[in-house]
Structure 1
Amino acid sequence: MFRSSTDLFTELNRMQGLLDPVFGGAGNASIRSTASGFPVLNVGTTAGSIEVMALAPGLDPASLDITIDRGVLAIAGERKADLPQPGERTSVYANERYAGRFRRVVSLPEDADPAQVEASYRDGVLRISIAKRASSLPRRIEVH
């Protein structure tokens, strides 16, 4: 059936690529985030914080619901559709912009401090900065 384990893994990868769209697969999603969707996320760290950037143009910042619970960051909200209402004398030929309710969830590293979180929204980008716990940061120890 298969000549080597390489053939088997190649075939499994091909099958996963075919099934991902059917079941809403994650594609190249990170182990720390759920399936891709809206908004698109960039997650990284600096020396003192975990940085989450959500590319989400067209949102009302007041309608966003951002929570951290048990090491999981959740971003939820809704983007309203800008399409013409039914009955108007227009036609839509393409509609690629996401509209509707959304929820994105990211598992945070253990050193994230949920008591020190800042969020801002500017130019369609939601930036969430979660400080790292002081106990996890490197410190200099003096020798006496």
Structure 2
Amino acid sequence: MSDVLFNTSLFDEFDRLQRQMSSVFGGLPTSIRASRFSAFPQINLGSTDDSVEIVAFAPGIDPAKIEVTVDKGLLTISGERAGVESPSEGRAYAQERFAGSFRRAIELPRDADPDKVKARYVNGCLAISVGKRETSRPRTIAIQ
């Protein structure tokens, strides 16, 4: 075995390494619940024979402040979510509700028809249906 001398204790070295790593990856959440890695609003995306179905979970947003656009095969959901006022006394030590402007872009499949888009906002969910082109729908070929 070799004798290794440290000027400081091993735990001090780990603390120093942790501080350095924190400065490199600064701003990362310290817990899963505080994570901001996912985009807002969260979405579910699916497809039927006739349409592409998108559900964006956006509670607490005025539907008049949401904009849905389709351009060059990209569906964009944008808007702004108002913040919630903090208690008049004391300081907040955790904030998990997102507030501010947002923008979410979703690439549509090639068979989506940008002229057949419908959107509705119900109970905090923005449901968007994008129809498919007639040529892309499944069809049965008669054999002669």
Equivalents in 1 of 2:92, 2:52: separation in Å?
41
Partner of 1:118: 118
Identity %: 46
Alignment TM-score, normalising by the size of structure 1: 0.70
TM-superposed deviation, 1:130: 0.3
Corresponding residue for 1:38?
Answer: 40
**2:79 aligns with one of 77, 80, 84:** 77
C-alpha deviations, 1:45-94, integer Å up to 9, x for none?
A: 11111011111100001111100000000000000001238xx3343232
What runs of 5+ residues in structure 2 fail to find an aligned partner? 1-24, 29-36
Task: State the aligned residue count.
Answer: 113
1:24-45, CA deviations, whole angstroms, 9 ceiling, x for partnerless residues?
9xxxxxxxxxx83110011111
* Superposed CA RMSD: 2.4
Gaps of 5+ in 1: 1-20, 25-34
Alpha-carbon offset, residue 138 of structure 1? 1.4
Look up the SS of the partner of 1:43 in the other structure: strand
Amino acid in structure 1 at the alignment position of 2:61: L
Change (3 A) 1:107 1:23: farther
- Give 1 or 2 for the bigger CA radius of gyration: 2
Aligned residue in 1 for 2:68: 66
Partner of 1:54 in structure 2? 56
Give 1:23 shift: 9.7
1:107 aligns with 2:139: no
How many Å separate the matches in 1 of 2:26 and 2:43? 22
| Matched letter for residue 58 of structure 2 | A
- Secondary structure of the residue that 1:62 maps to in structure 2? helix
Give the Cα separation in 2 of the matches to 1:23 and 1:111.
Answer: 40
Q: Deviations over 1:104-134 (max 9, x none)?
A: 0010100000100110111111110101101
Aligned-pair CA distance for 1:143: 4.7
TM-score by length of 2: 0.70
Matched residues in 2 for 1:23 and 1:48: separation? 43
Task: Give the direction of change, closer, same or farther, for the CA distance of 1:130–1:62 in structure 2 (3 Å limit).
Answer: same
